[in-house]
C-alpha cells in the first residue's frame, strides 16, 4: 500500500496551545500546532512554538561584574512528533516522541544592583551561547473531541537537549525541561 492513498484520507488539524513549566526550566510556552492524521490512531504533529527557557547553567559564561540571577533564552522551536492515540469512550490518551530544533531569538538575564532587580538583554555571541538547540521531545496527554471534529487537549512534555549551547571549551550547557500545555485543535 502506498503512502499517497493514506495522505488522501488524512485529517488535518491546526490549533493554539500554551502553558508553563515545572519547576522553572520552561517559563512560558505558546504554540501553533499542526497535526496530520496518517492512520486511525497515528499522526504527525509539528508547528511552531515560542518558548522561554530558564537555564542557570548559562551563568558560568556571564560577566562576574554583575550579580546575574536568572538567564532566560527565548526560542522559536519546531518539533516533528510521532503521535499515537489510544482511544477510550470519553477521551483519547496519547503519547508522542520526536526531534525538535530551536533558534534563540533573545537572551536576557536579571541582575541585582543596589537591592533592586534589573533585566538586561545580552548578546549571544558575546555570552558564548549558541542560538541553535536541538533535542528530543516526548510526552503524554489526553484529548477530548468536541463539536465538528474539533478537540481540546492537555499534555505533559519533557525536553532533552542534545546540543551543547556553550560555545566555549570546557563546561557543557544543555537545555531541558518539563511543561504542561493546554489548547484546542480545529479540524480543517
Domains of the chain from N-terminus onward: 3-53+73-105+130-169+179-187 (2.40.160.20)
> What backbone torsions phi and psi does residue 127 show, to the nearest 5 degrees?
-90, 0
Is residue 77 a contact partner of residue 98, using CB atoms and an 8 Å limit? no
**Can you say whether residue 148 is alpha, beta or left, with left for phi > 0 and alpha for psi between -120 and 50 degrees?**
left
Cell numbers representing residue 122 in the block: 545580552
Position 5 pLDDT exceeds 50: no
For 91-145, how does the pLDDT look when each residue is reduced to its tens digit (9 = 90+)?
999 999 999 999 999 999 999 888 899 999 999 999 999 999 999 999 999 999 9
Q: How many angstroms separate the CA atoms of 171 and 61, rounded?
A: 9
Position 1 pLDDT exceeds 50: no
Q: How many angstroms separate the CA atoms of 24 and 54, rounded?
A: 7
For 32-46, how does the pLDDT look when each residue is reduced to its tens digit (9 = 90+)?
999 999 999 999 999
Confidence at residue 24, expressed as pLDDT on a 0 to 100 scale: 76
For 160-174, how does the pLDDT look when each residue is reduced to its tens digit (9 = 90+)?
999 999 999 888 999
Q: Hey, how many other C-beta atoms are within 10 angstroms of the C-beta on 95?
A: 15
CB contact set of 41 (below 8 Å; sequence gap of 6+): 84, 85, 86, 87
Amino acid at each position: 500500500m502506498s503512502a499517497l492513498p493514506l495522505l488522501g484520507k488524512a485529517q488535518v488539524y491546526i490549533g493554539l496551545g500554551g502553558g508553563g513549566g515545572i519547576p522553572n526550566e520552561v517559563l512560558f510556552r505558546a504554540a501553533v500546532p499542526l497535526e496530520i492524521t496518517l492512520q486511525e490512531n497515528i499522526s504527525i504533529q509539528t508547528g511552531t512554538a515560542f518558548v522561554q527557557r530558564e537555564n542557570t547553567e548559562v551563568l558560568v559564561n556571564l560577566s562576574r561584574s554583575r550579580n546575574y540571577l536568572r538567564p532566560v533564552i527565548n526560542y522559536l522551536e519546531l518539533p516533528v512528533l510521532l503521535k499515537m492515540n489510544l482511544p477510550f469512550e470519553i477521551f483519547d490518551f496519547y503519547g508522542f516522541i520526536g526531534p525538535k530544533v530551536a533558534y534563540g531569538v533573545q537572551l536576557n538575564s536579571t541582575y541585582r544592583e543596589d537591592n533592586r532587580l534589573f533585566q538586561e538583554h545580552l548578546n549571544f555571541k558575546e555570552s558564548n551561547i549558541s542560538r541553535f538547540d536541538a533535542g528530543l521531545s516526548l510526552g503524554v496527554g489526553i484529548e477530548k473531541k468536541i463539536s465538528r471534529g474539533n478537540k481540546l487537549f492537555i499534555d505533559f512534555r519533557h525536553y532533552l537537549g542534545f546540543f551543547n549551547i556553550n560555545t566555549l571549551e570546557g563546561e557543557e550547557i544543555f537545555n531541558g525541561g518539563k511543561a504542561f500545555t493546554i489548547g484546542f485543535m480545529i479540524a480543517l
